[in-house]
Amino acid sequence: MKKLLVVLMILFVGILLAGCASTPTAPVTPTQAMTPVSTTAIPATVATVIPTTVAKNVTPNATPTQTPTPQPVVTITLTNYNTVNPSGTISITQGTKVVWVNQNQAILNQIVVQGLFTSGSLKYKQQFPYTFTKAGSYVWYSTGTNGLIKGTIIVK
């Protein structure tokens, strides 16, 4: 540690001495006679800001577009052990999409709504959607390897 301190001190003294060394400079002597310069006022320039209006892209007599109402969706989940969520009877309005989702690890034979449709076989995690457009009471069922899963949908 002492050696480092000694080296730093020597370095500091060397820099100090190098900065103090001066070299004589030649005296400044005027070579030309100074001539007076006339001064005249320079007129100031003033910027003028003129307000302008920018026309927006406006369509005359435009009618606002309506945001479409999202379609209601009800999900019926078929689970293991012949259970369904929601179970039993559900009530929906016309235009509601019902999506059956198979969370049963066994292959379900088909989903049937008598008089409307018969789906194909649903494998694990597959879905089957159907939009109900007419009022009425619809019994649905699904026959699978674990038995019979069923419910009722009332469309108002």
Residue type at position 106: A
The C-alpha angle with vertex 71 and arms to 117 and 119, in degrees rounded to 5, equals 15
pLDDT for residue 92? 94
Domain positions in the chain are 73-155
Residue 66: band (very low, low, confident or very high) from pLDDT cuts 50, 70, 90? confident
pLDDT digits (tens, 9 = 90+) for 43-52: 556 666 676 6
Q: Could you give the C-alpha distances from 9 to 18, 47, 108, 126, in angstroms and in order?
A: 14, 62, 90, 82
Q: What is the SS3 assignment for 16?
A: helix
pLDDT for residue 87? 80
pTM comes to 0.55
CATH code matching the domain that covers 73-155, chosen among 1.10.3720.10, 2.60.40.420, 1.10.443.10, 3.40.50.720: 2.60.40.420
Kindly report which listed range (14-23, 57-66, 114-123, 131-140) carries the lowest average pLDDT score. 14-23
Q: What is the SS3 assignment for 122?
A: strand
